[in-house]
Copies of this chain bind each other. A is one copy, B any other.
Amino acid sequence: MPALKEAARDAGNPERSEVRRMPALKGKAIVGQSGGPTAVINASMVGVAEEVKKHPEIQALYGTVHGVEGLMKEELIDLSAETAEALQLLKRTPSAALGSCRHKLKAEDYERILKILQAHNIRYFFYIGGNDSADTSRKIELAAKQAGYEMRVVGIPKTVDNDLAFTDHCPGYGSVARFNAIATRDAGRDTEAIGVVDNVKIIETMGRNTGWITASTALAKEAPDDAPHLIYLPERPLVVERFLADVKRVFDRLGYCVITVCEGLKDEKGETLVASQRAVDVDAFGHKQLGGVADFLCDQIATNLRVKARFDKPGTIQRMSMLAVSEVDLAEAYMAGRAAVRHAAEGVTGQMVTLVREPGPAYKCTTGLARLEDVANAEKPVPDEFINEEGNFVTEAYLEYARPLIGGPLPPYGRLTGKRVPERL
């Protein structure tokens, strides 16, 4: 994605010399976590906490409990009181230790938040999250500016969905990708062994609007006939007839088939393939809900191809698994947290830290900056060059993009050489 990378770099390097001239701003800092927890969001928080200690003008670091929801209620904790050992352990603890939220603030909320920040002399605001969080941060910055209150607001990216623009990739993605690659390889080995009876396996991954997570299952494939055999992303409409023909082709050849699908698959009209009709979800009483995408597709396979199909839906397990953490992802999440503080100390505000992939044959990642406003209003789908023509797999270009992010090869598995014994009967 050279275009995106350029953008990230342009946004990322406002003339450093200029921001360096900003005078040191004395006051406290606050950090919050927002959106779906991940394996590495705590690493970003620890990065903030450790970097803050290197900047004497930042007098203390507070944490806001459950993001802006706690901030509204002035539920703050003193992160400066945490020991270095506690922080080290938290760095490798999944979930959001501060508590998270998915709270959309109302216009009047910003006024109250600003009052609370002012009351505690908070001059540095760090918010770890996705584009909704970027939007919240941007509006908090705006409120401060309008009130003439000097405060530096820097966002830290976090989303397993990997759908933020202006950054090469997002902290959280490498680990969810590693988990799903391993889970798909395991499901593949399983189906290979027992596919004689359990013929088709579907793995439903997260990813409401974009297929980045589903795409990562391709990293399971070590040999041409390995799982996954088919991958479906929401960037392409799912046509059931074509899907069934794809499955039949693989099944007829191998005797089994492993498919990975995104929970957010869309049909030809762009509608979610299987919309929840649950009372609480649609805010109206109703009908028995239909189950998920994988369930629906298993049913299609069973009914139309008359072969057994089962699904795995790792759900939140995939984004929380510290067992499958990508060490690259963990290190970058931590780096992003530290970079946010460093930039803010230098005078940066209204920006989100980005991850920048350096050119060259070896993978190297540094940080840049992008405007919170730009990040808030963009969503990055899996680009065309990462999806094959048939819309049922990813391309080599995607694999090249994703491979370094999962932190090294998958743990090695063996195979029998399987020297055949000559028949005697």
Seen from chain A, the residues whose Cβ lies within 8 Å of a Cβ on chain B are 33, 35-37, 42, 62-63, 65-66, 69, 74-79, 81-82, 86, 89-90, 92-103, 115-116, 119-120, 182-183, 186-187, 189-194, 196-197, 201, 278-281, 285, 288-292, 295, 298-299, 302-303, 306-308, 310-317, 319-324, 411-421, 423-425
Q: Which of chain B's residues has its CB closest to A65's CB?
A: B418
Question: A96 to B194, alpha carbons, bound, how many Å?
Answer: 8
Is A116's CB under 8 angstroms from B425's CB?
yes
Known: A186-B317, A280-B302. A424 touches B74 (CB 8 A): yes
Given contacts A196-B69, A278-B299, whether A416 and B186 have CB atoms under 8 Å apart is no
**A74-B425, A77-B419, A280-B302 known; 6 other A-B pairs, CB under 8 Å?**
A97-B415, A102-B197, A281-B302, A289-B302, A314-B314, A323-B324
Q: Chain B residues near A411 (CB, 8 Å)? A: 322-323
Whether B295 and A280, one on each chain, are in contact in the complex, defined by CB atoms closer than 8 angstroms, is no
| Contact (Cβ within 8 A) B89 A37 | no
A269 → chain B, closest Cβ, in Å?
A: 21
Q: Is the CB of A190 within 8 A of B316?
A: yes
Determine if B193 and A96 form an interchain contact, defined as CB atoms under 8 angstroms apart.
yes
19 contacts between A and B (CB under 8 A): A36-B190, A62-B421, A66-B193, A75-B420, A81-B419, A86-B417, A89-B412, A93-B413, A95-B192, A97-B416, A100-B196, A103-B196, A183-B321, A187-B317, A201-B316, A280-B302, A280-B303, A280-B306, A314-B317
Residues of B close to A201: CB separation below 8 A: 316
**In the assembled complex, which residues on chain B have CB atoms less than 8 Å from the CB atom of A303?**
278-280, 285
Q: Please give, as numbers and ranges, the residues of chain B lying within 8 Å of A302 by CB-CB distance.
A: 278-281, 289
Shortest distance between the CB of A100 and any CB in chain B (Å): 5
User: Which of B62, B190, B285, B324 contacts A320 (CB under 8 A)?
Assistant: B190
The docked-state distance in angstroms from the alpha carbon of A116 to that of B423 is 9
Tell me whether A37 and B90 are in contact (CB under 8 A).
Answer: no
Q: List the B side residues contacting A81 at CB < 8 Å.
A: 417, 419
A420–B316 CB distance below 8 A: no
Choose among B187, B323, B419, B425 the residue that contacts A182 (Cβ–Cβ < 8 A). B323
A89 near B413: Cβ-Cβ < 8 Å: yes
Contacts of A416 in B (CB 8 A): 63, 77, 79, 82, 86, 90, 97-98
A78 CB to closest chain B CB, in angstroms? Answer: 4
Bound complex: CA of A289 vs CA of B298, how far in Å? 10
Q: In the complex, which residues of chain B have a beta carbon less than 8 angstroms from the beta carbon of A319?
A: 190
> Lowest 8 A-B CB distances belong to which pairs?
A312-B315, A89-B414, A95-B189, A291-B291, A186-B320, A119-B424, A76-B421, A323-B323
Given contacts A299-B289, A308-B280, A322-B411, are A100 and B193 in contact (CB under 8 A)? Answer: yes
List B contacts of A316 (CB < 8 A): 186-187, 190-191, 201, 310, 312
Looking at the assembled complex, report how far the CB atom of A191 sits from the nearest CB atom of chain B, in whole angstroms. Answer: 8
A291 CB, nearest partner CB in chain B, Å? 4
Contact of A120 among B101, B191, B291, B424 (CB under 8 A): B424
B421 A77 Cβ-Cβ under 8 A: yes
Smallest CB gap from A60: residue in B? B421
Hey, which chain B residues are within 8 Å of A311, CB to CB? 313, 315
